[in-house]
């Protein structure tokens, strides 16, 4: 048994297995699971979820805007669990629940007792941006879980002195690259943290370098796909920068956003966690690999503190979205919970302080939950938002309408597809067979692919991102139903342009208001002009 495990076991000894720290963590994880199961069907399917499901019909080692891991998970969801909201979202919900459990393990591994483990797990449940992302089939929830899995392996290597954990770290990091490229920043932060601390001795271990090799091998297929396709992801990022779509925040505003999106009441916990990682003592005796015994181990987990500093600095410097730092916070919750446990331990006023803070975390978390999960009807949410006067930080410059973007993107899709189906099915059978449903954005195309089969619609085509790479299929453009168009280009491209329907939903984004155009008689073949239609952004 390691020193970390021994210390944690002693902390939990007075309690039964049903009231121990790990048990409390499991109860909190179960509460999160129940919360998601109760709300998973309230609104519609999210735009990005339909896109990942569309990508799962075109299995590859890469896509224009993301690596393939979440697409593989989408393929399993679609073929094993079905396309109901619960079927689509069950695996990400379970991943979010696993993150709660893993955060409790992080606290235990760093020497936290019963309170610290439960506090860290509770903090994860009360984060608005986690509640939003953990109910969708996107890459974010798996990113959070993979990052914390990597951190746990680093902790095990530090606590046990066993360098073999770095091999498993490399394997998991490789899958992280197949999920989201942002894991490169986690690896950079950890590298800086290891180099700047006595743990640099791990750099001499063959297991660490075997881990680097394993990571490279697992990430290689996607890298080769990017090379073979002339790095479409880099082109995408460049184009997004040029459009100024993302909200750019200065350093102070970026840090303030962290407090907002992670739940303001949790700011003292995670900021205290940063301090504890740099200065805290674990209260146990630890023998390092060199054989010297250190009382309390000093700040043995300082590499993790440096990791956060490097991540935050890098994302501020790169003018990234404020939520890109979100995957690292469970580690800080665990560290902060240990610090809170230590400074309140053995004091009567400390017990009251813990209880008051836990109560505040639950109260503020409950107050903010309607902004993250569809607990309320849209009408009730708008009244609630007005009543408390809270506005979440803006992430992208979007025409969101009355609802926040993450809710707005769950409305209007099926109604749009129904209107498209009425147009498509009104055409003569011979013309219908050659009619393409074309969208200027992948969102509408993905909605047609998701809802369309129940109305007899073919798969859509689009000029946007991965849809462009899949090409126009069999269509020559002789008859096209065009979606998400301003109507300016079609008159010079087709001999006949007719508005045959109007798309608008009161709760959808305002850029989802457009006319459905039926176009005939192209002045150039769709196959010929397709290379010029490419839009990566």
Q: What is the 3-state secondary structure (H, E, C) of 364-425?
A: HHHHHHHHCCCCCCHHHHHHHHHHHCCCCCCCECCCCCCCCHHHHCCCCHHHHHHHHHHHHH
Query: Rounded CA gap, 528 and 471, in Å?
Result: 11
Q: For residue range 310-349, what is the model confidence (pLDDT) as tens digits?
A: 999 999 999 888 899 999 999 999 999 999 999 998 877 8
The domain locations on the chain are 15-286+293-371, 413-533
Q: For residue range 220-234, what is the model confidence (pLDDT) as tens digits?
A: 999 999 999 999 999
Query: Rounded CA gap, 383 and 386, in Å?
Result: 5
What is the mean predicted confidence (pLDDT) over 234-250?
A: 86
DSSP single-letter state for residue 204: G
pLDDT given at position 527: 94
Instruction: Tokens for 444, please give them.
Output: 């509408």
Q: Is the pLDDT of residue 290 over 90?
A: no
Q: Which of 296-300, 405-409, 420-424 has the lowest mean pLDDT?
A: 296-300
pLDDT given at position 401: 86
pLDDT given at position 350: 82
Q: Considering just the CA atoms, what is the radius of gyration of the chain in Å?
A: 25
What is the mean predicted confidence (pLDDT) over 280-301?
A: 48
Residue 523: alpha-carbon gap to chain centroid: 43
pLDDT given at position 296: 36
């Amino acid at each position: 048994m390691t020193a970390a495990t021994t210390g944690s076991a002693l902390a939990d000894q007075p309690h039964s297995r049903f009231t121990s720290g790990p048990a409390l963590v499991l109860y909190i994880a179960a509460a999160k699971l129940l919360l998601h199961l109760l709300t998973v069907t309230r609104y519609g399917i999210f735009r990005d979820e339909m896109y990942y499901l569309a990508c799962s019909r075109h299995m590859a080692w890469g896509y224009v805007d993301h690596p393939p891991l979440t697409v593989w998970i989408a393929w399993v969801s679609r073929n094993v669990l079905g396309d109901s909201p619960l079927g689509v979202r069950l695996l990400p919900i379970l991943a979010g629940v696993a993150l709660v459990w893993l955060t409790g393990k992080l606290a235990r591994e760093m020497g936290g007792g019963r309170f610290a483990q439960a506090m860290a797990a509770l903090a994860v449940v009360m984060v608005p941006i986690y509640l939003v992302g953990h109910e969708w089939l996107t890459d974010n929830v798996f990113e959070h879980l993979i990052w914390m899995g990597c951190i746990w392996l680093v902790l095990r290597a530090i606590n046990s002195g066993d360098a073999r954990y770095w091999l498993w770290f490399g394997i998991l990091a490789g899958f992280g690259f197949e999920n989201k490229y942002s894991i490169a920043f986690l690896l950079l932060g950890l590298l800086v943290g290891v180099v700047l601390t006595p743990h640099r001795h791990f750099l001499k271990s063959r297991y660490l370098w075997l881990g680097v090799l394993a990571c490279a091998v697992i990430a290689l297929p996607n890298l080769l796909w990017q090379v073979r396709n002339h790095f479409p992801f880099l082109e995408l990022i460049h184009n997004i920068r040029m459009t100024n779509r993302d909200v750019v925040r200065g350093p102070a505003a970026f840090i303030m956003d962290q407090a907002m999106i992670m739940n303001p009441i949790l700011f003292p916990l995670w900021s205290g966690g940063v301090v504890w990682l740099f200065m805290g003592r674990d209260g146990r005796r630890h023998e390092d690999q060199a054989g010297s015994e250190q009382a309390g181990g000093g700040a043995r987990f300082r590499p993790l503190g440096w990791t956060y500093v490097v991540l935050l600095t890098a994302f501020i410097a790169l003018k990234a979205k404020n939520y890109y730092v979100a995957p690292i916070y469970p580690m800080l919750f665990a560290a902060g919970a240990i610090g809170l446990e230590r400074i309140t331990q053995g004091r009567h006023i400390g017990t009251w302080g813990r209880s008051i803070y836990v109560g505040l975390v639950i109260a503020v978390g409950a107050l903010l939950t309607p902004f993250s999960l569809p607990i309320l009807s849209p009408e009730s949410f708008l009244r609630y938002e007005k009543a408390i006067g809270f506005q979440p930080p803006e992430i992208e410059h979007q025409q969101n309408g009355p609802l926040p973007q993450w809710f707005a993107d769950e409305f209007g899709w099926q109604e749009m597809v129904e209107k498209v189906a009425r147009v498509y099915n009104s055409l003569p059978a011979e013309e219908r067979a050659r009619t393409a449903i074309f969208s200027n954005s992948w969102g509408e195309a993905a909605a047609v692919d998701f809802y369309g089969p129940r109305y007899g619609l073919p798969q859509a085509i689009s000029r946007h991102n991965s849809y462009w790479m899949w090409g126009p299929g069999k269509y020559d453009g002789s008859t096209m139903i065009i979606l998400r168009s301003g109507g300016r280009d079609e008159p010079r491209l087709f001999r006949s342009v007719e508005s045959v329907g109007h798309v608008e939903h009161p709760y959808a984004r305002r850029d989802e208001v457009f006319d459905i155009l039926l176009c005939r008689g192209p002045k150039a073949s769709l196959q010929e002009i397709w290379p010029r239609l490419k839009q990566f952004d």
